[in-house]
Amino acid sequence: MPETIEVELSVNEHPRSIRIEPRETLGEVLRDRLGLTGTKISCDAQVCGACTVLVDGLAVSACTYLAVDADERAVRTIEGLAEEGRLSPLQQAFIDHAGFQCGFCTPGMVMAATALLEENPDPDREAVVHALEGNICRCTGYAQIIDAVLAAAAAGAGRPPASEATGERVGATS
């Protein structure tokens, strides 16, 4: 039996303790061990972007990122974007702007765009194109995807709620 080690992950804000082989990628652990199949594995070479997830807020390729390197870090997958059964504004923008066809690349595109909007809530078209450079779509072209990201940005996706921006607590009274 191969040697295993224990890692502590926060996956979509849920603490997870799991024994893994040191050679396992984050993509394998997410899909095969945790059942989070939204992360797509395609190229296994960090080329296509279908496996993009966020680790401590940074976009990474889960197909080559070792799970052991995610120990004690926050991992966010496409499954972690919806809140209370509602799609995130960016996910909804992909639907509203027909930013997908087969959908295989969509989780990686959405996660890369999420990282962009969290870093830069008001990107221009060039910034969106640059942020999505590592993500390949074989169906749509890219116009609808870029339009979706820009629309989500214009609608305020990526900006903290006013209460967070001012440091006030939601529901606080004076």
Q: CA 81, 40, 82 angle in degrees (round to 5)?
A: 10
CATH-assigned architecture of domain 5-80: Roll (3.10)
Q: Mention the CATH class of domain 89-154.
A: mainly alpha
- State which residues of the chain have pLDDT below 70: 1, 161-174
* Domain spans of the chain, in order of start: 5-80, 89-154
Q: What is the pLDDT of residue 170?
A: 39
Residue 86 CA to residue 47 CA, distance in Å, equals 31
Q: What is the pLDDT of residue 166?
A: 46
